[in-house]
Structure 1
Amino acid sequence: MKLTAQPKCLVMAMLGVTALTQQINAQESAFSIEEVIVTAQKRAQSVQDVGITMSAFGGDELKEMNVSDVVNVAANVPNVQVNYGLGNNFFNIRGLGLNEFTANLDAPVAVHVDEVYQSKGFLTGMTLFDIERVEVLKGPQGDLFGRNTTGGAVNFFTRRPEDTFSGNVTLGYGNYQTQNFEGYVTGPIADNLSGRLSGYMTRQEEGFYKNTTRGTTEGKVDEIGLRGQLLWNLEDTEILLSLHYGKDRSELLPYEGLGNTQLEGGFCPEYLDGSVKGNTPNCLRGLDLLFNPGAPISQYQPGEDDPYTTQNNLSFTVDNEAFGGLVKVEHKFDNAILTSITGYENFDQNQREDSDNSSIQSIEVYWYTEFEQFTQEFRLTSDLDHDRYNYIIGLFYEHDDYYNGDYLTAYANVFDGLNNYSRYNQTVDAFAAFAHLEFQLTESFRIINGVRFTWEETELNGGTFGGSGITDFGGEEKPETIGAAIASSDLIEGGNVRRDEDVSFKVSAEWTPNNDSMVYASVSTGFRSGGFSVAFANSQDELTALAPEEMTAYEVGFKSSWMEDTFRLNGAMFRYDFRDGHIDVDAPGSPVPITINAAEIETIGAELDLHWRPLEGLDLKAGMGWVDNEVKSDLTLATGIGPVSLKGNRPAFSPEWTFNGQVRYEAPIGDSMTAIFSTDFSWRDDHYLEVNNQPSNLLEAYWLVNARISIGSADDQWRASIWGKNITEEEYTPYLNDLPAFGWLLKGYAPPATYGISLDYNF
């Protein structure tokens, strides 16, 4: 794919910006934009001094935007989405992300919490509170971070213990009888020792959804999280111990279960053109017709098109528990810093769902996972004060132990032959050595070289089995009788153990003609682990072994500050050559999508970020992203609607255009109080939720708008706020499962409009 004339013009514009800033900066201002400090290159730097395309948000900013989870973070960054469903959260950056049905595969966008790699999508759900900042880095980052950073890295940093006593309590109440609490206390404990205890609780007693079958509401939330930290500051050594715990007894958001089959047979036209609704005449659930012949049509067809009205006979329950921690040790030598980070994560998942949203016992899934992760990283970093060079070299090790016991039942009271018990153990051992070297060639020109060697071994034991009946075995719902293997790890072509090696690199250059502008360019490669797609494989062919993903990325960008740093404009354009990408596809005989390797995906795109402070107290932000990507491999799939060619299709969760913005105004009220008015908004172009790009899985473009009004004391001791999220009541589906061979289309909707009040008190 060649660069078009439009991106070439952007390159010229980037070079022109540096000259323009020198002229405009002659103006003076008394209200410059506050500096944002990040650690994207493992040291504290201004975001404007880092030659990486990135976005960063401080903890106070996140609170003002009412950001409570990773989904809200993505909405405020161009070319970033979050794919979420079944309690898993996966970032998608510039069209690269994870769209697998289950979580045994690791994502190409790495997530770190306090520099500890979070390999699975369910690990971040109960740890994101008391946050100091979030950094979203785009493009391969393997020369500096843990594993699988093909698409980028999203790094969360929690607030650390302080050596002076302070605390905070935040209380909130919202619609759907939602109660929120978050707070912390920190301060000295003894000489050279300080501590911090923080926690949160969210309880939503009324769900977003009204269930007409059981006469209840669904989508309730019941979560708690705790974190305790101790920080020792010795003469040349700093030791941080952090432990966290979380418990989630919420309800997953249910599906809108649509049909696709005509009573007389074949697909209904409305399903094929993507216009099917819950009350579409003669567009019924196929398996209902197969196993309940002669039943009233109203049993299969709810007769309404409200996505927040459900009919499922089984509630979507969650009983998840997480525990983990880290020990970080930093020792300062005369001209270097040695860092050790030891991390441990343990997660137990026990969830159930009524997969077809039907009032009869039909398709139901019981999800069960036990997961342990151990990571160890060592880094040696120069003191970062050398005139000519700096370096970071490191070693990384990870061990994962993943047990899966998911059980899918299909008309268990009628026919046990469709029941599928996905039971397996997966272990991962990963080792890497990396180096990041910076050379200052002249006062204004610097080059950066990075290299990473990766060795990984993934072993799978188990597979999928037939089952009959259901029983509770120590909290795990499983078949009463486990039948013969449908697909077995013993029969995988090439064996049940994968060993993958890779050497990736980065070469970049930064030119800073003055203190207010930078132009940078880079070439880098990325690597994402191979593995196995095993969930509910309905035949041996559907238990697929996956080769690693590999990518070469080319990027040029600029960062600039104008008018005495009251106006910032940053931009970048990029090209990705992606090989052996993991994609989720429909299989005619499978009740869930399976994952395969696509030979080639090519991407070009561009981004702009703007921050302007025209008046004291007024901040205006905007971001725009453009991505043009497509599958280049000549690959035809056998699907439930017949053969589908993927060549020329867009990957899932990849809108061509994205836009986001924020407006914030802070004004004094007399001498002792202030008022803050803020809103943030985002727009996502229409995009497909599955790579086969059928009308049934097209998500139309949508806006999200949030707003907040706060009044507080001038010394920030207290603040009262009124807030609203999705205030325009946009209906959109971040999760979809399109299974034409089984006669249904499942859509998971995002929450409707929510609003509430909150009170912050600092002491």
Structure 2
Amino acid sequence: MRGFRHGPATVRWTGLLSACSVSALALAAGLSGVVGLAGTARAQDATAQAGTQAGAQAAAPALEQIVVTAQHKPEYEKDVPLAVTSLDAQTVDNLTSSGDDIRFLAARVPSLNVESSFGRTYPRFYIRGLGNPDFTYNAQQPVSVVSDDVVLENPILKAFPVFDVQDVEVLRGPQGTLFGRNTPAGVVKIDTRKPNDDYSGYVDLSYGNWNTVNFSGAVGGAIVPNILDFRASVLEERRDDWVHNVNPNTPYHRDLEGYTDTAARLQLLYKPTDTLDALLEVDGRALDGTARLFRANIIQPGTNKLVDGFRVDRVDFDGDNYQNLGTWGTHLTVNNDFGPVTLTSVSAYEHGSVRSRGDIDGGNFSAAVGSPFLSPGSNLFSDETSDSIPGLDQFTQEVRLQTNGDGPFFNQGGFFYFHEYLRVDSFSYNTDGSTAVSMNQTQGTESFGVFDSATYKVTDDLKLGAGIRFSTDSKDYNVGCFIGCFNPLKPTLHTNSSDTTFDLSATYSVTPDMNVYGRIATGYLAPALDGRNVEFDGFSGPAPLSVAKAETTTSYEIGLKSNLLQHRANLNLTAYAWNTDNLQLAAIGGSTQGTNLLNAKSAIGEGFEAEFEFKPTEQWLLTASGSYNFTQIQDSSLEVSPCSACTVTSPIDPVTGNVKINHNPLPNAPRWVLDGTARYSIPLNRNNEVYVLTDWSYRSTENFFLYQSKEFTGQSLLLGGLRVGYVDRDRGLEFAAYVHNILDNVKVTGAIDFDNLTGFVNDPRTYGVEVRYRF
């Protein structure tokens, strides 16, 4: 069993344990108050049974209980001993109405952040501060994305559009037992709508500014009643270019940020008997769009503010910019009920390719002195690069055996196999567009895991759980340089690693509507390899490959989950603390203009999360959630190269000139994440209504890099939305108008620190109209 690190971290962990004690007291205080409410509710129930409040209770609105499949079986969210948030299909559809990609999840769930320096093709997830900002195509993340029980390992697979879904669940904390390697931070679990015998479907069409068109639709039903069902889903998202390149001499695109993004899914459900079913799914995606727009000198020196006169719709590039992606996959899920047990097999194959090219320096190398778009001021340079995956092939196989019935004992166990082959081609270009550097990387990965998880209901109120998993991971990695660089000192590397992860939990029912739980869990992130430093550092001689050892995480969590006020309110509270040994870090950029993988001796995190949902009347629905996440790197010997043009605030080593990062927060890990919504409806008759919905999200400041500086500390970001609509349930129609980012807040959300104050920003205000038809 892994514990917290002793030594220099002891003082900090003493504070952490004190904080957890305070959090526990706060939970206990909240529990006392909520128990009081529950007791009041029971008294009111008794009174109602006596007849004094029967009419009032009959009219009281109630929230539906949330059902999740976080443990591979349907359960009430209240009964699951881990922090999990579920976004239903309606919420997902509203948040993506203007064509938003999977980054729409950022700050919509406690402790969750999502960002990208690649645009729509490469999301990076962070849960409770744990994530990976590495931009290389073979980078691995501590947050796993699982769609219909299939892991999507590579970032270009994780970017698959979210449409026609049943729900999206975010599981916070290590999920090593049931979801395996590369889940020490958590899992984003996507479940699509499945076929059934009922003929049904929908059409959803929206139109917004910049000629944004978002169309999605689905249809399904029985082909052979009770035997063969189908569901077909399609998505088409388009947006015109709305950013103008003011460089009149460029031979490349003059207008940018448009895209055409198309995806489709076909599912066939075969049920030859009452005990056997097989679901075949085929999906695909094609994207033609723009890579991330890096913008030179957009940050005021000595601050983290945008420069005066910044225009989000203008750039001055001398390089090219485009992005093309294609993926497709097929899954086969078979369930065979043998009575006492059910055997489940999930087989999947995924294939993908992508090509992305961008003007990385973010400016015009030949721009006139004084131009606001001048590339990097006094240190002129031109940086235009392209990365592509000519071929990505992933195969996974999982077999699970789980017990059936309502008895006190439940068990599920099985094995998992993962195979991936990946090739990455990288190019760097001269100012005339000719190739200056050409290299490629290949990586083959094989992983195997065997696991078992069990729960036992000791009494009607107490349930205990335990799980264990053994995982192995093997990688073969090769780098080849062809133009402008040297082959690395060791062009081929092989890594082997293994780890045993576990979880222990206890759930106690204080009342029928309130549970408290505790959980200890561990997670494992396999070793990482990178060869891009060969491209950046290999001009003067052979450069070494970059390797990071496996990291392991131990997490402690306590929580409360409750239904209050005759199920008119839900309240969840969580306090947690985690420790990671050999934390994998990516040192990107700096004065060396390189990228290197590192291991910190340790990192810690602690915080709390709260979620509240309240339906005071039939017309009102209110939700609020929030989290506080503290993270800290703990390695007194670890240093990185800083930027040359920014105001560094971390301690500088006078001997090496590097920056010490001990006690710094993790990148892209805001302390505070808040979210809230309010919906008010005006019934016109029994089945028609007009409604107003507003949604808001907030994240506090965040650090972009491992070191700290004034310029590369992202400002807090508040995003608001408004939706006004009319619903005709008799005809299955809905008409709505929407606004996203209603305050038009545009902030720097990421940066490149090579040689200038280059950054990228979030989208400005978007708005439009939408019509939905459901049948």
Tell me if TM exceeds 0.5: yes
1:612-633 Cα distance to aligned partner (Å, 9 max, x none): 1111131111111111111111
TM-superposed deviation, 1:230: 0.5
Correspondence for 2:651: none
Q: Which amino acid aligns with 1:181?
A: F
- Letter in structure 2 aligned against 1:274: T
Q: Distance in 2 between matches of 1:727 and 1:575?
A: 35
1:36 and 2:66 aligned = yes
Correspondence for 1:393:
413
Deviates further, 640-649 or 603-612 = 640-649
1:406 is aligned to 2:426: yes
**Distance across 1 between alignment mates of 2:331 and 2:735:** 35
Contact 1:21 1:561 in 2 (8 A): no
1:204-603 correspondence runs (5 A): 204-208=239-243, 211-213=246-248, 216-235=254-273, 236-258=275-297, 271=301, 273-275=302-304, 304-360=309-365, 362-369=382-389, 370-386=391-407, 388-411=408-431, 419-464=436-481, 466-467=483-484, 484-485=486-487, 487-490=488-491, 496-537=493-534, 538-539=537-538, 543-586=545-588, 590-603=592-605
After superposition, the C-alpha distances for 1:50-76 in whole angstroms (9 at most, x for unaligned) are 111111011122223336432112321
Taking the aligned partners of 2:594 and 2:261, their CA distance within structure 1 comes to: 29
Distance 1:384 1:703, change over 3 A: farther
For residue 128 of structure 1, report the CA deviation from its aligned partner.
1.9
The answer to whether the aligner puts 1:76 opposite 2:114 as a matched pair is no
**Letter aligned with residue 75 of structure 2:** Q
Instruction: For residue 176 of structure 1, give the secondary structure of its aligned residue in structure 2.
Output: helix
Partner of 1:693: 708
Offset of residue 15 of structure 1: 4.2
For 1:612-651, what aligned pairs fall within 5 Å after superposition? 612-634=614-636, 635-641=638-644, 642-651=657-666
The residue identity in structure 1 corresponding to 2:508 is W
Q: Could you tell me how far apart the structure 1 residues matched to 2:587 and 2:244 are? A: 29
Structure 1 unaligned spans of 5+:
261-269, 280-303, 468-482
Which residue is 1:52 aligned to? 82
State the partner residue of 1:760: 772
Contact 1:454 1:503 (C-alpha < 8 Å) held by counterparts: yes
Counterpart CA distance in 2 for 1:664 and 1:141 is 34
Deviations 1:305-358 (A, max 9, x none): 324320012342111111101000000011111000011111110111111122
Pair 582,17 (structure 1): closer, same or farther in 2 beyond 3 Å: farther
Q: Which residue of 2 aligns with 1:4?
A: 18
CA distance, structure 1, for counterparts of residue 508 and residue 622 of structure 2:
27
Q: 1:315 to 1:618 in 2, by over 3 A?
A: farther
Residues 709 and 723 of structure 1 are in contact (CA less than 8 Å); yes or no, is this contact kept in structure 2?
A: yes
Letter in 2 for 1:20: G
**Secondary structure of the corresponding residue to residue 297 of structure 2:** strand
Instruction: Give the secondary-structure state (helix, strand or coil) at the position aligned to 1:228.
Output: strand
Specify the code of the residue in structure 1 equivalent to 2:271.
N
Deviation at 1:131, TM superposition (A): 1.2
Pairwise CA distance, 1:83:
2.3
1:432 to partner: Cα distance: 0.4
For the structure 1 residues 51 and 128, does the alpha-carbon distance in structure 2 shift closer, same or farther, using more than 3 Å as the test?
same
Does structure 2 retain, via aligned residues, the 8 Å contact 1:330–1:339?
yes
Residue deviations 1:211-244 (CA, integer Å, cap 9, x gap): 4546843100111111111001122111000001
CA separation in 2, counterparts of 1:188 and 1:455?
A: 42
Aligned equivalents of 1:149, 1:432: Cα separation in 2: 13
Question: How far, CA to CA, are the matches of 1:18 and 1:446 in structure 2?
Answer: 21
Q: Is the 8 A contact 2:181 2:523 kept in 1?
A: no
8 Å CA contact 2:297, 2:758 repeated in 1: yes
1:156 is matched with 190
Is structure 2 residue 742 aligned with structure 1 residue 730?
Answer: no
Query: What are the equivalent positions in structure 2 for 1:649-660 lying under 5 Å apart?
Result: 649-660=664-675
CA distance in structure 2 between the partners assigned to 1:135 and 1:413 by the alignment: 45
CA contact (8 A) 2:425 2:441 kept: yes
- Identical positions, percent: 24
Q: Which residue of 1 aligns with 2:757?
A: 745
Given that 2:486 and 2:543 are in contact with CA atoms closer than 8 Å, whether structure 1 keeps it comes out as: no
The question of 1:198 aligning with 2:233 is answered yes
SS, match of residue 484 in structure 1: coil
Deviation at 1:145, TM superposition (A): 1.3
Q: Distance in 2 between matches of 1:489 and 1:556?
A: 47
Match for residue 133 of structure 2 among 99, 108, 116: 99
Tell me: CA distance 1:657–1:278, structure 2 relative to 1, closer, same or farther (3 Å): closer
Q: Which residue of 2 aligns with 1:664?
A: 679
Is residue 589–residue 752 contact of structure 2 (8 Å, CA) maintained in 1? no
Q: Is the 8 A contact 1:176 1:208 kept in 2?
A: no
Amino acid of the structure 1 residue aligned with 2:233: S
The SS at the match of 2:210 is coil
1:384 deviates by 4.5
Separation in 2, partners of 1:20, 1:306: 55
- 2:148 corresponding residue in structure 1: 114
Looking at structure 2, the residues matched to 592 and 729 of structure 1 have their Cα atoms a distance apart, in angstroms, of 35
Unaligned runs of 5+ in 2: 1-12, 45-56, 367-381, 645-656
User: What is the CA-CA distance between 1:92 and the residue it aligns to?
Assistant: 0.4
The one-letter amino acid of 2:104's match is: N
Q: Which amino acid aligns with 2:469?
A: R
**Does structure 2 retain, via aligned residues, the 8 Å contact 1:258–1:276?**
no
- Calculate the aligned-residue CA RMSD, in Å: 2.1
Find the aligned partners of 2:355 and 2:264 in 1 and give their Cα distance.
Answer: 20
Aligned partners of 1:464 and 1:536 also within 8 Å = no
Q: Residue 656 and residue 666 in structure 1: after superposition, are their counterparts in 2 closer, same or farther (change >3 A)?
A: same
Give the counterpart of 2:168 among 125, 134, 138: 134
Q: Which residue is 1:19 aligned to?
A: 35
1 CA distance for matches of 2:529 and 2:685?
63
Give 1:276 deviation, angstroms. Answer: 7.4
Secondary structure of 1:63 counterpart: helix
Report the CA distance between 1:460 and its aligned residue. Answer: 0.3
Shift of 1:489: 4.1
Aligned residues: 702
d(CA) in 1 for partners of 2:609 and 2:411?
Answer: 29
The alpha carbon displacement at 1:81 in A equals: 0.3
Cα offset for 1:124? 3.0
Cα-to-partner distance string for 1:159-216 (whole Å, 9 max, x where unaligned): 1112121221111110001112110110111240011111010111232455454684
TM-superposed deviation, 1:584: 2.0
**In the alignment, residue 111 of structure 1 is paired with which amino acid?**
V
**Whole-Å Cα distance in 2 between the matches of residues 167 and 734 of structure 1?**
38
Partner SS, residue 20 of structure 1: helix
